[in-house]
Structure 1
């Protein structure tokens, strides 16, 4: 099997949640490989900062302000990309969050924000990408950044509806594969499920997690996940990587 990103060079990719962590790392790798990357994020100014650092690379990064909990934002974002960069060939559904709450005394709005981002935002973005790929007869690739929590429930504080949202992503990956087959489309779908990754998600959501627990955990880096995504993208047209589960050595869950 020949691994190559050649067929994607010059093409358009959308990365959601591109302002930090895994999303920023994936956007950077795609720019280095020569793609035009639209980084969707609420904090679009941070994507703009990343774009400045990537000037002179083969591709380019453009910031697009999009809140994944708002359908109108997502639709406008895809339209802007189509009008200004061209039709999307790759969609990386990376945006995701967890909130500092629980199930027994939880806040409904926090649950809703998780589900709106991790599930519905992903579904809306996927729908818009498939529309464009289908209309343009593009054999594109959609990647869902899932989690090990999409396959089992970690015994970890304050998980609340987060594992349920990621289990939904696992089901959505297979459901989409079946739909694409039924439609006769050659669009690939891949789920990438990391274990613990050193990102801002814990600090950003003020999760009350024992610092000793974190200190003793093995963790992956964002670049480990971006390299896995590039591997899936670089496979030949007839090869579909359906699921990649990536854990650090020594992970306890």
Structure 2
């Protein structure tokens, strides 16, 4: 991580969950973090907690936290943040596109309003942030790294009712990550693009969506912690300049990539 010390990272959805854990890890590794979140109170809470969690016994350099309240579905607001990073901090080196939502919305009776809201945050806002990061990196001659927090449902079909639009939003991210790598190669850019696809993660996302999976699913499903995914962000950034982790799938031990039904286990002693 030495190549990133003193550099600047932008993390979306930084106020809680994976975004907050990633912010902490990046700062611990010496990066300055511009944390974006639509909820300013969450950013304030994170900022206040950093003094306690960021103590580094060996006295090594740690980064600086710059909280920025920002609705990433507002293109003008996103442009303003990246413009500030260019002017005040000399450009962005790392973007972690973490912000996302989940909601139940059936294809049979869902509303266009809900579908637009889901896609605007999970897909279109990520594209805007990636575009602005590319512009900043190119303007400042930075061979940076764009990390997209994807999901295993971006690579398989979820069996849960009314989750197919969320499923589609993450599948779109899988396609757009490869598309971004393709376009970067066409302009001879050395900017890296990594997709990290975790399995179930224990975050506030379901609370925000105002629903919980069924008790059967919750009780039988292992889950990652936000810190586990943050560690994977560091793993992608630690690669040599000539190596790019295009896709990193991370699941909790005892789980699977493709969700399955829950039949009674076979009693092997009867065989």
Greater gyration radius = 2
- Helix, strand or coil for the counterpart of 2:67? strand
Unaligned runs of 5+ in 2: 56-61, 260-271
Partner of 1:219, secondary structure, is coil
Figure out how many residues of one structure are paired with residues of the other and give that number: 249
Q: Aligned ranges for residues 83-162 of structure 1 at < 5 Å?
A: 83-162=87-166
Instruction: Determine if contact 1:45/1:63 at 8 Å carries over to the other structure.
Output: no
Whole-Å Cα distance in 2 between the matches of residues 173 and 20 of structure 1? 24
Q: Which one of 28, 37, 43 corresponds to residue 32 of structure 1?
A: 28
* Structure 1 residue 208: Cα displacement: 4.8
Structure 1 stretches of at least 4 aligned residues deviating more than 3 Å after TM superposition:
none
Q: Deviation of residue 80 (structure 1)?
A: 2.2
* Matched residue, 1:191: 195
| More divergent stretch after superposition (188-197 vs 104-113) | 104-113
1:75-133 C-alpha deviation (Å, 9 max, x unpaired)? 11212222333300000000111123211110211111110011100000000000111
Match of 1:181 among 176, 185, 196: 185
TM-score (norm 2): 0.89
Name 2:3's counterpart in structure 1.
7
SS, match of residue 100 in structure 2? coil
CA distance in 1 between partners of 2:106 and 2:65 (Å) = 37
Counterpart mapping for 1:75-86 below 5 A: 75-86=79-90
Instruction: Kindly indicate whether the alpha-carbon contact (under 8 Å) linking 2:82 and 2:136 is maintained by their aligned counterparts in 1.
Output: no
Question: Structure 1, residues 137-183: CA drift from partner, whole Å, max 9, x if none?
Answer: 11000001000010001112331311111111101111111111110
In structure 1, stretches of 5+ residues that fail to align are none
Deviating more after overlay: 111-120 vs 66-75:
66-75
TM-score norm. by structure 1 comes to 0.95
